Amino acid sequence: MHIGLGLPIADPSTLPEWAVRAEAAGFATLGLLDRLVYDNPEPLVTLAVLAGRTTRIRLQTEVLIAPLREPALLAKQVATLDRMSGGRFVLGLGVGGRDDDHEASATDIRSRGRRMDEQLRLMRRLWAGDRFSDSCGPIGPSPTTPAGPELLFGGFQPAAIDRVGRWGGGFLAAAAPSWAGGLFDLARESWSNHGRYGSPRIVAQLNVVLGPQPVVDQARTAVLDYYEFSGRADYMAGGILTTAAQIGSAIRQFEDLGADEVMLYCYGTDPDQVDRLADAVL
């Protein structure tokens, strides 16, 4: 069981320190979320900076909203980050669900699933070195492996989770242990149905913060703000884990369900959170 660290978004200037501390503490992965119409750092740019400050730890989007982006440029950005990080980049993908993100990117929210599948087809071809078209050549650089970086897919609906098997990726589950097991089963079923060898990598996610009450209150406020659009903000804020015992128990539950990694998504802003969480779970 690997333990990763989901990075906060409130102050991008602190994230290199978070990354250096996380690698030194023994976390396996750094994760970063994606939104367009929000006060968060762009994840590919940010993870590129963090790749230059680290040598071992994986760098993972959780999840990049692919339909907001033009696919040829995205393929080039991803391959560049993959190569420059020495193959440490993991591309977590999702379709998103916010109207404002799609308005700002001039994309149609109603076709976002179909658009992401089309993007994946093109990106896989480009990563393999194919020409963009008969009249347009290949788009480099080549990624570390011809199929491109490892893929993770987030989502809750069967059609979204079925991309795990269709595209040969793992599953990122932003769900509590109490109901994540059914989602894990769908991902494994997709993997089997599409004739994949072995089993998909399953990555779970927990929202966490450790510290005195003012730190916890600040983190809950951040969760409420981030999830305000969803209609489930109170539920999400109420589910944040705030003690080492709670976090440890949830990790064990995910381990029993067969998760390969648990990402501790931290809503605290102080880099000391890295050491607190490492002391609690590593």
Provide the mean pLDDT of the chain. 96
Look-up of token digits 């590129």: 48
- What does the chain come to in residues? 282
Please answer whether residues 201 and 171 qualify as being in contact, where contact means their C-beta atoms are separated by less than 8 angstroms.
Answer: yes
| Those residues with Cβ within 8 angstroms of residue 177's Cβ, 6 or more apart along the chain or in another chain | 204, 250, 253, 254, 257
Q: What is the pTM (predicted TM-score) of this model?
A: 0.95
The tokens for 111 are: 């076709």
CA atoms of 5 and 265, how far apart (whole Å): 6
> Burial level of 183, CB count in 10 A (0-12/13-18/19+)?
buried
| pLDDT bucket at 234, cuts 50 / 70 / 90 | confident
| pLDDT bucket at 238, cuts 50 / 70 / 90 | confident
As a whole number, mean pLDDT of residues 228-232 equals 80
As a whole number, mean pLDDT of residues 72-95 equals 98
- Rounded to 5 degrees, what are φ and ψ at 152? -125, 145
Please answer whether residues 64 and 31 qualify as being in contact, where contact means their C-beta atoms are separated by less than 8 angstroms.
Answer: no
Peptide bond into 67 cis (omega under 30): no
Kindly report, residue by residue over 207-219, the tens digit of the pLDDT.
Answer: 999 999 999 999 9
Q: Is 90 exceeded by the pLDDT of residue 260? A: yes
The pLDDT of residue 230: 77
The pLDDT of residue 186: 97
As a whole number, mean pLDDT of residues 158-180 equals 95
CA atoms of 261 and 81, how far apart (whole Å): 22
Please answer whether residues 161 and 93 qualify as being in contact, where contact means their C-beta atoms are separated by less than 8 angstroms.
Answer: no
As a whole number, mean pLDDT of residues 89-107 equals 96
How many angstroms separate the first and last alpha carbons of the chain? 11
Nearest CA among 91, 230, 90, 113 for reference residue 161: 113
| pLDDT bucket at 266, cuts 50 / 70 / 90 | very high
The pLDDT of residue 229: 81
The pLDDT of residue 82: 98
| pLDDT bucket at 227, cuts 50 / 70 / 90 | confident
| pLDDT bucket at 259, cuts 50 / 70 / 90 | very high
Q: Strand 2-6 relative to strand 29-32: parallel, antiparallel, unpaired?
A: parallel
Amino acid at 276: R
* Cα 128 from chain centroid (whole Å): 23
**What letter does residue 7 receive in the DSSP assignment?**
P
| pLDDT bucket at 228, cuts 50 / 70 / 90 | confident
The pLDDT of residue 192: 97
As a whole number, mean pLDDT of residues 235-262 equals 95
Helix axes 112-127, 71-84, angle to 10 degrees: 50
The pLDDT of residue 31: 98
The pLDDT of residue 58: 98
| pLDDT bucket at 163, cuts 50 / 70 / 90 | very high
The pLDDT of residue 65: 97
Within 10 angstroms of residue 18's Cβ, the number of other Cβ atoms is 23
Kindly report, residue by residue over 2-14, the tens digit of the pLDDT.
Answer: 999 999 999 999 9
Within 10 angstroms of residue 34's Cβ, the number of other Cβ atoms is 24
CA atoms of 206 and 6, how far apart (whole Å): 9
The pLDDT of residue 199: 95
Q: Strand 29-32 relative to strand 58-61: parallel, antiparallel, unpaired?
A: parallel
* Secondary-structure breakdown of the chain: helix, strand, coil percentages, each rounded to the nearest 5: 50, 20, 35
71, containing H or E segment:
helix 71-84
